[in-house]
């Protein structure tokens, strides 16, 4: 029995209401989505899903290749009568963001996603759903397996590690694809046609610090900031959602002087591309000021909750007594660190002066970990203008270098320059108007799509990105709209029917 079949059989029993999801229309797409979600596939740990995709292609008797970085390429001939059409590459990424609620017991490396249907939406139980970009992968799988859907010659490109480095796209060599058109199925609004995107770069801040023994007459508290929306650090950055790391740091900044506060530990956020929803800290204060400290936290919480009542109505901020630790940060290093985090830019840096409503440059303060003498801070800086991306990187570097931290910038990838006059943009815009009697939003986005990277080795390839409605991507609130998947699938099939003939 192939690994493709074994994975499905082994994990299918773990999926809540899998049968209900598989019975949704179009069944071919939802069935493959359920199969895919039965396979663990966190970024950087995609061995199982690579094998899954490889065995899927081979089980269909189609030419299947795994390249040197782990991308899977499956090629399918045109259906009868469409052999003279231009070859189309269908592209999606195999990995998914692995985020869960703090109270959810789940192992992304061993378990399949637990899905359920809620009205017109499919959701996951306390974790990310993987609709980003699993719905695109599922749609491509359905086309590869189909026997009655008209289509031109197809090249399915399943990339790896899109979410944490885009190493699959960066590693794809020229000459692997013959397609003249690429349909990237990784957009999250079904009325949008994306034709450009931001580039990005990872910033890592590392520092050591001195610790000291806890002073006599001290008591400890655990501060919790949670209940924020979180979301995609590119697509949702303009929504003004609260950042748990910044909120926690604000509380510490406003508390340390008056209560002799010392930090034992801070643990906030997670992945670079997810707006942090939760942060936890353990702090020590003078026992004689415990009551005033509790009242201070309540007052701070009320102010912050009022500020976020529209964007994050479920935010919670509480401080509860906890076991007294033995060691805390020394005051000087602690105060310098808290001040540097306070000054670190988070959110929109500049809006595009050329494209209305487009975020041009931003930073996500994604992860803050302070523990046992070590500080680790992770950011993701995005921009559609490389020089401005570098400017913001230097801004952050200057801030943290002032406290003796080591700053590393890595994983830089280019943006995708829009080509609004390309033939595929015209074709799909006209088709959208015809089918849905409305105007599509032809736009660039602030997310990091793979098209810009892929285009470096395939500069003549026409590219466009679209997909179904997905909300809350990169957070445990992620969901995909059932009716929108039907719309997306129908639109994809009609697009393939209209692909032009090869030039004579």
Whether residue 10 is predicted with pLDDT greater than 60 in this model: the reply is no
DSSP 160: S
Question: What's the pLDDT tens digit per position in 271-285?
Answer: 899 999 999 999 999
Of the chain, the percentage scoring pLDDT greater than 90 comes to 88
Question: What is the CATH T-level fold of the domain 201-413, as seen in this structure?
Answer: Alpha-Beta Plaits (3.30.70)
Q: Report the chain's mean pLDDT, rounded to a whole number.
A: 94
Helix or strand or coil: residue 110?
coil
Task: Taking each helix axis as running N to C, give the angle between helix 290-307 and helix 244-253, from 0 to 180 degrees, rounded to the nearest 10.
Answer: 140
Nearest in space to 136 (alpha carbons), one of 111, 165, 158, 168 = 158
Judged against a pLDDT cut of 90, whether residue 493 lies above it is answered with yes
**168 in helix, strand or coil?**
helix
Q: Would you list the domain boundaries of the chain? A: 3-198+416-497, 201-413
233 phi/psi in degrees, rounded to 5: -75, -5
* φ, ψ of residue 369 in degrees (nearest 5): -130, 120
User: How far is 140 from 142, CA to CA, in rounded Å?
Assistant: 5
pLDDT, position 17? 52
Q: Label residue 2 by pLDDT band (50, 70, 90).
A: low
158 φ/ψ angles, rounded to the nearest 5 degrees: -100, 105
Residues β-bridged to residue 444: 196
Q: Do residues 137 and 158 touch, judged by C-beta distance below 8 A?
A: yes
First-to-final CA distance of the chain? 46
**Architecture of the domain made up of 3-198+416-497:** 3-Layer(aba) Sandwich (3.40)
pLDDT in tens, 100-148: 988 899 999 999 999 999 999 999 999 999 999 999 999 999 999 999 9
**Which region, left, alpha or beta, applies to residue 271 given φ > 0 means left and ψ of -120 to 50 means alpha?**
beta
Active site residues: 95, 162
């Amino acid at each position: 029995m192939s690994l493709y079949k074994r994975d499905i059989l082994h994990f299918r029993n773990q999926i809540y209401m899998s049968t209900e999801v598989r019975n949704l229309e179009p069944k071919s797409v939802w069935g493959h989505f359920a199969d895919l979600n039965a396979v663990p596939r966190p970024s950087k740990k995609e061995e199982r899903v690579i094998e899954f995709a490889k065995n899927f292609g081979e089980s269909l008797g189609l030419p299947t290749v795994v390249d040197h970085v782990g991308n899977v390429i499956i090629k399918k001939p045109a259906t009868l009568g469409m052999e003279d059409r231009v070859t189309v590459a269908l592209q999606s990424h195999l990995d998914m963001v692995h985020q869960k609620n703090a109270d959810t017991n789940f192992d992304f490396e061993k378990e399949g996603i637990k899905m359920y249907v809620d009205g017109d939406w499919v959701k996951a139980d306390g974790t990310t759903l993987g609709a980003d970009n699993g719905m695109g992968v599922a749609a491509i799988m359905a086309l590869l397996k189909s026997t009655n859907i008209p289509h031109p010659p197809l090249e399915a490109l399943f990339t790896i590690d899109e979410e944490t480095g885009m190493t699959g796209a960066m590693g794809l060599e020229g000459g692997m694809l013959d397609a003249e058109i690429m349909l990237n199925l990784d957009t999250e609004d079904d009325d949008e046609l994306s034709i450009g995107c931001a580039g990005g770069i990872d910033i890592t801040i590392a520092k050591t610090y001195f610790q000291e023994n806890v002073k006599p007459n001290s008591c400890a508290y655990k501060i919790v900031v949670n209940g924020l929306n979180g979301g995609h650090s590119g697509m949702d950055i303009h929504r003004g959602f609260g950042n748990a790391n910044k909120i926690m740091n604000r509380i510490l900044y406003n508390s340390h002087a008056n209560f002799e506060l010392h930090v034992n530990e801070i643990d906030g956020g997670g992945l670079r591309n997810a707006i942090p929803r939760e942060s936890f800290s353990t702090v020590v204060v003078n026992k004689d000021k415990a009551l005033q400290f509790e009242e201070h936290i309540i007052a701070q919480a009320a102010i912050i909750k009022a500020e976020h009542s529209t964007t994050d109505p479920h935010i919670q901020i509480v401080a509860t007594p906890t076991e007294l630790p033995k060691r805390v940060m020394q005051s000087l290093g602690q105060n310098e660190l808290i001040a540097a985090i306070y000054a670190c830019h988070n959110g929109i840096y500049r809006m595009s002066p050329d494209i209305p409503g487009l975020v041009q440059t931003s930073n996500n303060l994604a992860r803050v970990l302070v523990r046992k003498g070590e500080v680790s801070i992770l950011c993701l800086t995005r921009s559609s203008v490389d020089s401005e991306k570098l400017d913001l990187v230097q801004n952050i570097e200057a801030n943290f270098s002032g406290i003796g931290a080591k700053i590393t910038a890595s994983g830089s990838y280019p943006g995708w320059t829009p080509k609004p006059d390309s033939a595929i943009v015209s074709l799909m815009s006209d088709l959208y108007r015809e089918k849905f009697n409305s105007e599509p939003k032809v736009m660039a986005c602030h997310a990091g799509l793979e098209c810009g990277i892929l285009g470096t080795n395939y500069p003549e390839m026409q590219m466009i990105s679209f997909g179904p409605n997905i909300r809350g991507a990169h957070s445990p609130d992620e969901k995909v709209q059932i009716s929108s998947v039907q719309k997306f699938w129908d639109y994809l099939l009609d697009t393939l029917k209209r692909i032009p003939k090869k030039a004579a």
